[in-house]
C-alpha cells in the first residue's frame, strides 16, 4: 500500500482534520499491521452545540481505549479508572475474548521503570485480558507482547511490540485522538 501524498480525512464526529503518512504496511492471514505518522488539526466551529458534541465524542473515544488503559497503568490508576486486568496462558484466548476470566492481576505489577522518564516497561507472560465496562456493556480486549518486554510511552501512544485482539483491535482511525488530548 502506497500513497504519493498524506492521506487527509475530515472527522466531523470528533472535530479534527486527520493527516496520515503511511510508512509501512503488511497484510497477513487475519492480520494487518502498519506504521504511520499522524497529525491532527482542530476543525473550526461557531456552533456551541457542535463543539459540545465533539467534546462528548472525544471523551467517548478516549475512555476505555488502549491509550486510556496504558496511561492508567503508568499512573497506577487502572482499577480506579474502570479497568480489570486478567492474565491468561497461551491457550484459552478464544474464550477470553467473550467473557471475563477469574485470574485477576494487580496491574501495578505489570509496569516497571525504564531508563527514560518518558517510557515504562510492560511485561507479562501469555495474554493480558483487559475488561472495561461502559454503560453496562463489557468491552474485552487481549494484549499480546511480541517479546518479553514492551516499551510503553507515558503519553499513551500506541507502542510497537504490542498486538491487540478483541475490542481494541476493532478501533480505527475514526476513534484516534491527538497525543495532547486530555479529557475535561
Reported pTM = 0.87
d(CA 16, CA 102): 40
**Domain extents in the chain:** 7-175
Burial 103-119 (b: 16+ CB within 10 A, else e): eeeebeebbeebeeeee
Number of Cβ atoms within 10 Å of the Cβ of 158: 15
> At which residue does the C-alpha cell 487527509 appear?
8
d(CA 120, CA 106): 16
31-42 vs 83-88, strand pairing mode: unpaired
Give, for all 184 residues of the chain, the pLDDT tens digit: 667 788 898 999 999 998 988 777 777 777 666 777 889 999 999 899 999 999 999 999 999 999 999 999 999 999 999 999 999 988 878 889 989 887 899 888 899 999 999 999 999 999 999 999 988 899 999 999 989 999 998 876 667 789 899 999 888 778 989 988 999 7
Amino acid at each position: 500500500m502506497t500513497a504519493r501524498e498524506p492521506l487527509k480525512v475530515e472527522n466531523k464526529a470528533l472535530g479534527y482534520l486527520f493527516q496520515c503518512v503511511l510508512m509501512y504496511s503488511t497484510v497477513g492471514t487475519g492480520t494487518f499491521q502498519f506504521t504511520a505518522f499522524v497529525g491532527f488539526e482542530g476543525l473550526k466551529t461557531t456552533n456551541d452545540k457542535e463543539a459540545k458534541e465533539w467534546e462528548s465524542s472525544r471523551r467517548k473515544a478516549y475512555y476505555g481505549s488502549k491509550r486510556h488503559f496504558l496511561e492508567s497503568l503508568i499512573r497506577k490508576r487502572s482499577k480506579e479508572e474502570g479497568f480489570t486486568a486478567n492474565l491468561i496462558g497461551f491457550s484459552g484466548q478464544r474464550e477470553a475474548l467473550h467473557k471475563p476470566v477469574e485470574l485477576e492481576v494487580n496491574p501495578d505489577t505489570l509496569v516497571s521503570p525504564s531508563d527514560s522518564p518518558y517510557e515504562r516497561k510492560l511485561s507479562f507472560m501469555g495474554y493480558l485480558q483487559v475488561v472495561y465496562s461502559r454503560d453496562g456493556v463489557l468491552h474485552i480486549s487481549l494484549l499480546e507482547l511480541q517479546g518479553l518486554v514492551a516499551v510503553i510511552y507515558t503519553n499513551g501512544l500506541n507502542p510497537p511490540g504490542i498486538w491487540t485482539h478483541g475490542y481494541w483491535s476493532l478501533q480505527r482511525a475514526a476513534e484516534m485522538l491527538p497525543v495532547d488530548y486530555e479529557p475535561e
